[in-house]
Amino acid sequence: MGFRKLFASLGAGGASVDTIITEPNVVPGGIVQGEVRIQGGSVEQQIEGLSVGLQARVEVEGGENEYKQDIVFTKQRLGGAFQVQAGALHVVPFGLEIPAETPITH
Distances (CA, A) of 89 to 8, 33, 43, 65, 71: 16, 19, 13, 46, 30
Domain hosting residue 70, numbered range: 2-97
pLDDT at 6 > cutoff 80: no
Tell me the CATH number at 16. Answer: 2.60.40
Taking the C-alpha atoms of residue 77 and residue 37, their distance in angstroms, rounded to an integer, is 15
As beta bridge partners, residue 56 has 71
Is residue 69 in a domain? yes
DSSP-derived pairing of the beta strands 82-84 and 45-47? antiparallel
Tens of pLDDT along 36-74? 999 999 889 999 999 999 888 888 888 888 989 998 988
Residue 69: partners with Cβ closer than 8 Å, 6 or more residues away: 57, 58, 60
Q: What's the pLDDT score for residue 10? A: 55
